Amino acid sequence: MKELKNVFLLTLKEKRDVTLAVFFGFLAGIAGVALLASSGYLISKAALTNQMTTLVVMAACLKLFGLVAALSRYAERLFSHRATFTMLSHLRTSFFEKLSPQAPAIFHKYRSGDLLARIVGDVESLQNFLLRILYPPVVLAIVFLSTIFFASFFSIAIAAVLMIGLLVTVVMVPAIFSWKRRKMDSAVRESRSALSTETAEFLYGFRDLKIHQQLSDREKELTSIAKRYSAEQKREGLEENFGQSLNGTVSLLVSWAVLGLGAYLVASGQLDGLYLAMLAMISLAVFENVAPMAVFPAHFENNRKAALRLDGITEKSTTEERRGELAAGPLGVSLNHVSFHYPGELRPAIDEASLYIAPGTKTAIVGPSGSGKSTLMQLLLGIIKADNGTVTFGNQSISDISQEELWASMNIVLQENHFFHGTIRSNLLIANEQATDEQMVEALKKVQLDSFALSMKVEEKGGNLSGGEKQRLAIARALLKGGSFWLLDEPVSSVDNMTARRIYQQLFDRGANDTFVLISHELAGLEKMDQIIVMEQGRIKEAGSYDKLMAQKGYFHGLKQIEKSILSS
């Protein structure tokens, strides 16, 4: 039950609506009982006596109870649904607030389809928390107890039968179904998540699957997952129907028992025959309210699992508050014996790395593919957290700095950069909403994209731009940002050498006093860097200026020789 504590607290934020929903739910239920009770009484009275005044009063009561029942049901629906939708909006907001600090590292752990299934499906499942879990048992209990109390004035035995009926339909049957559902795994939820995940993979990889003639195989796989999902839904539906039927049967049996017992009591002179029809009708009416309890176990278990899965994503995110402030001006950064393992990997991607990047200097990080350069970048960005060791900006540990503050001071260009459907202008404004057209045109010029008009259309994911154009547009975006710490992960790998050099020149001229950290496969042109850090298998092999590393005749020198021999052959 503790899994649902958070949803419960969010629902309680809507105390007023919840209380009104319970009140009107009770009123609708009790008015329904009163309606049938008075009609039973009316029928008996009409059959056994001829007091017109009583009949007229009872007929008026019938109308009144009918009206109250209908209006109260409307009010109950109104307040309960309003509370539910407000609670859902609180839930989405609080979930998103917990989730967003974990992005983009969260994709190391969850596939995007699975996340979508959780964000949409599981949050939606929780809309049933108030409507089907929290208040139906409360309303039902009050309606039932009031009815049993009323019936006890006429016959204690009939009140006891109603009480037994209550215990069976509200406690026993749901408890048995709850226990059964707990034993079943959450197959529907899991197959829904599998369907969503595989559909996302299918859509992302559609082109490649088509090229490799794997489309039909994947389609078959997807169809079988979809069928499994339908089958699980059907099984769940049947289970719910069975619960409802069982509860309905028990309710009718109880009504029969009331009638039979009532008839016996009338025959033995212990009950006035005038009340027999009324008590039988009461029993029929009160058990009508029991129907929601049949689906209670299904909804309870669904909600419990949904809350558990949502908590699973966000449990680590209730992180400590980060209060540290970054110093003004260009930043320096140091790593002290930092290690990092990707989850489930044996080999560390970063192994005991220590380095210092002074403020206002230019550092290149080089090394073979897979040596840990991008992982190091992610550590500097705070996207992933070191398992051991410390990352410090100025004199602040990265764990004390809020991600927003850190990123606000950085100009970041990654290997892959996202572009939104829109125009060049709208994509540039992401970096700086205040940027003027002149500044944007100037930035485009600096990355040799003078031919681009600001109004030029950009397709989804920059589909109409070449790889090199996308990289240059990303650099233009970074130029507009105005931070003083540059993190560039192979920013011009798809750009021709001549253009790449011009762009670097522009960047270094523009940020003469800024700190640059550049990841590169290219060993040419590193003479201008203040420091070169050479990585291999997650370790820092060497660090120093170009001249120092060449004079040292170590690893970097070796790489340069290999490069030279390849170029000359």
Ligand X SMILES: Nc1ncnc2c1ncn2[C@@H]1O[C@H](COP(=O)(O)OP(=O)(O)OP(=O)(O)O)[C@@H](O)[C@H]1O
Q: Which is nearer to ligand X, 204 or 206 (CB)?
A: 204
Residue 178 or 537: which CB sits closer to ligand X?
537
Handedness of CA 239, 240, 243, 248 (dihedral sign): negative
Please, how many CA atoms are within 13 Å of residue 477, restricted to the half-sphere of its CB?
24
Q: Which of 240/352 has CB closer to ligand X? A: 352
- CB 498: neighbour CB atoms within 10 A? 9
- Rounded to a whole number of angstroms, the minimum distance from the CB of residue 508 to ligand X is 22
Q: Residue 525: in which H helix or E strand, if any?
A: none
β-partners of residue 340 are 350
Half-sphere exposure of 227 (CA within 13 A, CB side): 6
- Starting at the edge strand found earlier in the chain, the sheet holding 333-340 runs 350-357, 333-340, 388-393, 396-397
C-alpha–C-alpha distance, residues 292 and 251, integer Å = 13
Q: Please report how the helices 276-288 and 15-48 are oriented relative to each other, as an axis angle in degrees rounded to 10.
A: 150
**CB 376 to ligand X: min, Å:** 7
Q: What is the DSSP string of 398-435?
A: GGGB-HHHHHHTEEEE-SS----SEEHHHHHHTT-TT-
Judged by CB, which is closer to ligand X: 330, or 348? 348
Give the interface with ligand X as residue ranges (CB under 6 A). Answer: 108, 342, 345, 349, 367, 369-375
CB of 338 to ligand X, least distance (A): 13
Task: Report the nearest approach of ligand X to the CB of residue 436 (Å).
Answer: 36
User: Nearer Cβ to ligand X, position 277 or 535?
Assistant: 535
Token pair 């203040």 in the structure block, residue: 530
Residue 61, exposed/middle/buried by CB under 10 A (0-12, 13-18, 19+)? middle
The answer for residues whose C-beta is within 8 angstroms of residue 385's C-beta and 6 or more apart is 340, 379, 399
Min separation Cβ 345 and ligand X, Å = 5
Residue 371 CB, shortest distance to ligand X, in Å, is 4
Q: In the bound complex, what is the minimum distance in angstroms from residue 540's beta carbon to ligand X?
A: 12
Nearer CB in complex with ligand X: 91/377: 377
The residue among 480 and 519 lying less far from ligand X, judged by its C-beta, is: 519
8 Å CB contact between 218 and 202: yes
Give 323 or 347: the residue with its C-beta nearer to ligand X: 347
Among residues 449 and 559, whose Cβ is nearest to ligand X?
A: 559
Distance CA 189, CA 166 (A): 32
The residue (of 186 and 371) whose beta carbon lies closer to ligand X is 371
Token pair for residue 145?
A: 């107890």
Counting Cα atoms < 13 Å in the Cβ hemisphere of 334 gives 8
d(CA 258, CA 278): 11
To ligand X, the closest distance from the beta carbon of 204 in angstroms equals 16
Shortest spacing between CB 489 and ligand X, in angstroms: 7
What gap in Å lies between CA 132 and CA 140, rounded to an integer? 12
> Based on CB atoms, which residue is closest to ligand X, 345 or 509?
345
247 and 293 in contact (C-beta within 8 Å)? yes
Closest CA to 350 of 391, 317, 393: 391
d(CA 488, CA 519): 6
Minimum distance, C-beta of residue 414 to ligand X, in the bound complex (Å) = 11
| Cβ at position 375, least distance to ligand X in Å | 3
